[in-house]
A and B are shown apart, each in its own frame.
Chain A
Amino acid sequence: EDKVVQSPLSLVVHEGDTVTLNCSYEVTNFRSLLWYKQEKKAPTFLFMLTSSGIEKKSGRLSSILDKKELFSILNITATQTGDSAVYLCAVPMDSNYQLIWGAGTKLIIKP
């Protein structure tokens, strides 16, 4: 059965810390992995990863994929209180449009 597992489920750190969020997956015919940030309700797109070893970077956020070990990590450096959110990882199923979502990591940044 296809699945996506994220860890940790929740994380509390202080402003300025660096965090690493994990997403592991088991999916038939893997094509890509997506990271979203969910504040309040609407998930907003962060990264799409398709190739192993190539880091995607956007400001203090970066992500990398390991297709051999079937996982991805999302790094956030110099965290700020505005980074507090649920970070979701998703992988498309064979259908090419249906996403399997992880349960998310709830990140809380304390000032």
Chain B
Amino acid sequence: GAGVSQSPRYKVAKRGQDVALRCDPISGHVSLFWYQQALGQGPEFLTYFQNEAQLDKSGLPSDRFFAERPEGSVSTLKIQRTQQEDSAVYLCASSSGLRVLVMKETQYFGPGTRLLVL
């Protein structure tokens, strides 16, 4: 595909419901990032994958958040037992570079998923 795609674009969940957010990175991109962006704030790092390996999950706010990238391409961010404070835009980005070179590579962002927890 031409760019990073994410689905769904919008998700409304009742408090306590589980949600799954999907990210399709640019084909061949090694690095994949998930960010959480609250209204009026910059993106906050959640987790980083290099191929199928989750190298850093230090930004995940609680153990209700889980991310996977089993085949090194598509990634899913799952939030269990959603809370109102989980309401945010969830951005996925991919980059062609390997870890040591990644900051010389542009991160390409998807359109994000806006999650609203009622």
Q: CB of A101 within 8 A of chain B?
A: yes
Nearest opposing residue in chain A for B40, CB measure = A103
Q: CB of B2 within 8 A of chain A?
A: no
Q: Given known contacts A41-B111, A42-B91, A43-B109, is B31 in contact with A97 (CB within 8 Å)?
A: yes
Stretch of B42-50, B62-70, B78-86 that contacts chain A: B42-50
Quote the shortest CB–CB distance from A3 to chain B (angstroms).
11
- Complex CA distance for A43 and B106, rounded to whole angstroms: 11
CB <8 Å contact, A41 and B102: no
Most buried by B among A43, A45, A92: A43
- Complex CA distance for A101 and B42, rounded to whole angstroms: 5
Q: CB-CB contacts of A92-107 with B at 8 A, as 1s and 0s? A: 1001111101111000
One of B4, B48, B111 near A98 (C-beta < 8 A): B48
Q: CB of B110 within 8 A of chain A?
A: yes
One of A97, A102, A104 near B102 (C-beta < 8 A): A97
- Complex CA distance for A21 and B59, rounded to whole angstroms: 28
Q: In the complex, what residues of A have CB within 8 A of residue B41's CB?
A: 103-104
CB <8 Å contact, A97 and B43: no
One of B42, B89, B100, B110 near A104 (C-beta < 8 A): B42
One of B91, B103, B108 near A41 (C-beta < 8 A): B91
Q: Given known contacts A41-B89, A41-B91, A42-B91, is B111 in contact with A99 (CB within 8 Å)?
A: no
Q: CB of B18 within 8 A of chain A?
A: no
Q: In the complex, what residues of B have CB within 8 A of residue A102's CB?
A: 42
20 contacts between A and B (CB under 8 A): A4-B42, A41-B89, A41-B114, A42-B109, A44-B109, A45-B106, A45-B107, A45-B108, A48-B104, A88-B42, A88-B43, A96-B100, A96-B102, A97-B103, A98-B45, A98-B56, A101-B43, A102-B42, A103-B41, A104-B40
State the B residues within 8 Å of A (CB).
4, 31, 33, 40-45, 48, 56, 59, 89, 91, 99-100, 102-104, 106-112, 114
Q: 4 additional contacts, CB 8 Å, given A45-B107, A45-B108, A96-B103?
A: A42-B91, A45-B106, A96-B100, A101-B43
